[in-house]
C-alpha cells in the first residue's frame, strides 16, 4: 500500500464505526420503542375513512353496534404473512356471531395487495390505504401489523402491535367477550 493512499482511507474506519453504532442504536430503539399507536384501550376509536379497491369509501363508525377487529398490514411484511391467514380463521369462526373483521392494506402497489388477498383466500372486509397516510393521521400508526378490537359502542377494547397469537386463549376470550350472547 502506498503512503499516498493511507491518508485518504483514515476516515473510513471511524465512519464505518459511527455508522455501525448508529445502526445498533436505531435497531435497539425500534425494538424497544413505546407503542406506535396513539390509540389506547378505553379510548373511542378514531374515525377512519376506509377505501375499497374500487374507490368506494365507508367510515369505521358505520359498524357501530358490532364488535370490530381492525387490522393494518402490508403484503410483504413477514409477520403479516404469518398472521393474516390466522386472522382469516378467526373471521370464519366468529363472523356468524357478529364479529366484523376489517383489514387495511398499506401496499403502494395494487398488484401486491390483490395477489395477497387471492393467495390467502381472504373473505373479510378489505380496504386500502396506500402508504398508510390515513391510518397515520387517525391512529398515529407506523409499525405493522397493528390490530384493534373495538366494542359495539366504538370503544377500543384491545390493541395488539406486531405478532398476535390469534388462536391463544387470551385473544379469543377478548373477542368472545364482545360478542352477543347465544
Predicted local confidence at residue 182, as pLDDT: 67
Residue 61 within a domain: yes
If you average pLDDT over every residue of the chain, what do you get? 82
Residues 101 and 139 grouped into a single domain: yes
Residues 21 and 106 grouped into a single domain: no
Q: Of all residues in the chain, what percent are helix, strand and coil, respectively (each to 5)? A: 45, 20, 35
Residues 13 and 79 grouped into a single domain: no
- Percent of all residues in the chain with a pLDDT value above 70, rounded to a whole number: 85
Widest pairwise Cα distance in the chain: 84
Residues 130 and 67 grouped into a single domain: yes
User: What are the grid coordinates assigned to 7, written together?
Assistant: 491518508
Predicted local confidence at residue 134, as pLDDT: 85
**Domain extent at residue 169:** 49-176
Predicted local confidence at residue 175, as pLDDT: 94
Spatial CA neighbour of 110 closest among 125, 127, 88: 127
CATH value at residue 69: 3.40.30.10
Residue 161 within a domain: yes
User: What are the grid coordinates assigned to 178, written together?
Assistant: 364482545
Q: Per the structure, how many domains does the chain have?
A: 2
Residues 148 and 86 grouped into a single domain: yes
The mean per-residue pLDDT over the stretch 81-91 comes to 90
Residue 21 within a domain: yes
Q: Is the pLDDT of residue 31 over 60?
A: no
Residues 107 and 28 grouped into a single domain: no
Calpha distance 50→56 (Å, rounded): 8
Predicted local confidence at residue 36, as pLDDT: 56
Residues 150 and 86 grouped into a single domain: yes
For the ranges 4-18, 24-38, 85-99, 105-119, the maximum mean pLDDT occurs at 85-99
Q: Is the pLDDT of residue 159 over 60?
A: yes
Cis, peptide link before residue 145, omega less than 30° from 0? yes
What end-to-end distance do the CA atoms of the chain give, in Å?
81
Q: Is the pLDDT of residue 30 over 60?
A: no
Spatial CA neighbour of 126 closest among 140, 138, 112, 139: 112
Residue 181 within a domain: no
Q: Is the pLDDT of residue 34 over 50?
A: no
Residue 58 within a domain: yes
DSSP letters for 18-84: HHHHHHHHHHHHHHHPPPS-S--TTSBPPP-EEE-TTS-EEEGGGGTTS-EEEEEE-TT-HHHHHHH
Choice between 102 and 29, residue whose per-residue pLDDT is larger: 102
Residue 153 within a domain: yes
Residues 98 and 16 grouped into a single domain: no
* Claim: this prediction has a pTM higher than 0.85: no
Q: Give Cα 140 distance to the centre of its chain.
A: 11
- Percent of all residues in the chain with a pLDDT value above 90, rounded to a whole number: 29
Residues 14 and 59 grouped into a single domain: no
Amino acid at each position: 500500500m502506498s503512503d499516498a493512499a493511507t491518508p485518504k482511507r483514515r476516515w473510513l474506519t471511524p465512519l464505518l464505526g459511527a455508522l455501525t453504532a448508529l445502526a445498533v442504536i436505531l435497531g435497539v430503539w425500534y425494538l424497544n420503542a413505546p407503542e406506535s399507536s396513539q390509540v389506547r384501550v378505553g379510548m373511542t376509536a378514531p374515525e377512519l375513512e376506509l377505501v375499497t379497491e374500487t374507490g368506494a369509501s365507508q367510515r369505521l363508525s358505520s359498524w357501530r353496534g358490532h364488535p370490530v377487529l381492525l387490522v393494518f398490514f402490508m403484503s410483504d411484511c413477514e409477520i403479516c404473512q404469518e398472521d393474516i391467514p390466522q386472522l382469516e380463521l378467526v373471521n370464519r369462526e366468529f363472523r356468524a356471531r357478529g364479529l366484523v373483521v376489517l383489514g387495511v392494506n398499506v401496499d403502494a402497489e395494487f398488484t401486491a395487495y390483490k395477489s395477497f388477498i387471492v393467495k390467502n383466500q381472504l373473505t373479510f372486509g378489505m380496504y386500502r390505504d396506500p402508504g398508510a397516510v390515513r391510518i397515520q393521521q387517525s391512529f398515529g400508526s407506523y409499525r405493522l401489523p397493528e390490530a384493534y378490537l373495538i366494542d359495539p359502542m366504538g370503544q377500543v377494547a384491545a390493541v395488539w402491535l406486531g405478532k398476535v397469537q390469534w388462536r391463544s386463549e387470551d385473544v379469543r376470550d377478548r373477542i368472545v367477550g364482545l360478542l352477543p350472547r347465544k
